[in-house]
């Protein structure tokens, strides 16, 4: 996990170096679904929850293959019900820096891959009914690292449609009631609209 964070952090540093070539700025809003993965999904009761947020993207439509993004969003993950000792519901607020790499800017629908690094804050809203196996703590902060693929499609000269999917890796084991040596992560899929606010 430490190796992954080092790689992602190095990749995210290009956000700073890319600021010098900013020529187009987009503001976006998006929403989608999220689901906890790793040991939490083995119970077979994982539900699809929601993700909603916004971001500022630099060089989204520039000829450069690198676009930098500052994003903040809310995520909820949990189980379908709250009747067992492993059922839970956790709310997460995340702020991160992301970098998108576009394979071909000349395509109408431009695919990309990306990664980022951020800080997240969580709160366990529903605690296990079995008090012999409680959360170690009900709120806190952790490092998060999204890895994703996506595609943008221009709706007009100033509006673009964006779709993005991928996992978000963490360095915490406190997002669900199962406490072991495996970090908790989640998967998301989102769609959004990005508006050109450049002069």
Structural domains for the chain:
2-196 (2.40.160.20)
pLDDT above 80: residue 56: yes
Q: Using only C-alpha atoms, what is the Rg of the chain?
A: 18
Q: Which of 74, 87, 77, 66 is nearest to 178 (CA)?
A: 87
Query: Is pLDDT at 38 greater than 70 in this prediction?
Result: no
d(CA 93, CA 122): 7
| Averaged pLDDT of the chain | 80
pTM for this entry:
0.80
**pLDDT band with cut points at 50, 70 and 90 for residue 165:** very high
According to the model, what pLDDT value does residue 46 have? 66
pLDDT number for residue 19 = 47
Choice between 128 and 92, residue whose per-residue pLDDT is larger: 92
Residues 6+ apart with CB under 8 A from 171: 1, 5, 142, 143, 183
Reported as half-sphere exposure (CB side, CA atoms, 13 A), residue 142 has a value of 21
């Amino acid at each position: 996990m430490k190796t992954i964070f080092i790689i992602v952090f190095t990749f995210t540093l290009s956000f700073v170096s890319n600021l010098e070539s900013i020529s187009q700025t987009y503001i976006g809003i998006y929403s989608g679904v999220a689901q906890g993965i790793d040991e939490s999904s083995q119970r077979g009761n994982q539900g699809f929850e929601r993700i909603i947020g916004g971001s500022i993207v630099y060089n989204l439509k520039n000829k450069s293959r690198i676009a930098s993004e500052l994003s903040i969003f809310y995520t909820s993950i949990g189980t379908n019900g709250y009747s067992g000792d492993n059922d839970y519901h956790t709310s997460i607020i995340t702020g991160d820096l992301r970098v998108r790499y576009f394979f071909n800017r000349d395509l109408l629908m431009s695919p990309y891959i990306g990664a980022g690094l951020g800080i997240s804050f969580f709160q366990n809203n529903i605690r296990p009914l079995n008090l012999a196996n409680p959360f170690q703590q009900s709120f806190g902060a952790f490092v998060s690292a999204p890895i994703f693929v996506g595609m943008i499609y221009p709706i007009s000269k100033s509006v673009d449609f964006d779709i993005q999917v991928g996992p978000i890796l963490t360095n915490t084991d406190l997002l669900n009631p199962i406490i072991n040596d495996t970090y908790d992560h989640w998967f998301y899929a989102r769609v959004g609209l990005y508006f050109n606010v450049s002069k």
